[in-house]
């Protein structure tokens, strides 16, 4: 649950939610319009498939836009799709970095808590703590 909160926080801060919802609206609208203006794309499902091929740059070639308006819509959806994919990549990297930062903070809090209770620790706990300090010192 904590991970989802961090991810939502990153999405909200970056404004990625606006781009994703905007893309879904453009994608759906284009899928409604394309079958009406493109003779080679017969239905809504085929238009969804064609636009998916377009924005992922797969381009199987089973459907092709031949009209000017169809090509214009295709270019717009493709560019918008590339932007959203790039943005999603950035958000995922940001999420991963925030997750690592949160883990580091939590680990540091636990370590400081153990140091604050140093006199109360048993010999085994002290040996474990010393081993972890050596391990971290070696890794840094």
Q: What is the pLDDT of residues 86-118, one digit of tens each?
A: 888 888 888 888 878 888 888 778 777 877 877
* pLDDT value of position 137: 59
* pLDDT value of position 56: 86
- Structure-token match 């649950």, residue found: 1
- Give just the sign of the alpha carbon dihedral 16, 20, 26, 29: negative
Q: What is the pLDDT of residues 4-52, one digit of tens each?
A: 787 777 778 888 889 888 999 999 999 999 999 999 999 999 999 999 9
Pairwise CA distance, residues 14 & 125, whole Å: 43
């Amino acid at each position: 649950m904590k991970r989802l909160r961090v991810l939502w926080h990153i999405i909200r801060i970056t404004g990625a939610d606006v781009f994703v919802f905007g893309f879904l609206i453009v994608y759906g609208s284009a899928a409604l319009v394309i079958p009406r203006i493109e003779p080679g794309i017969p239905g809504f499902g085929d238009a969804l498939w064609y636009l998916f091929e377009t924005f992922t740059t797969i381009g199987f070639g089973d459907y092709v836009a031949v009209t000017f308006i169809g090509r214009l819509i295709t270019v717009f959806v493709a560019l918008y799709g590339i932007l959203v994919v790039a943005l999603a990549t950035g958000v995922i990297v940001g999420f991963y970095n925030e997750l690592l930062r949160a883990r580091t903070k939590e680990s540091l809090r636990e370590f400081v808590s153990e140091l604050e209770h140093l006199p109360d620790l048993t010999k085994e706990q002290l040996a474990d703590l010393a081993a972890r300090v050596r391990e971290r010192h070696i890794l840094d």
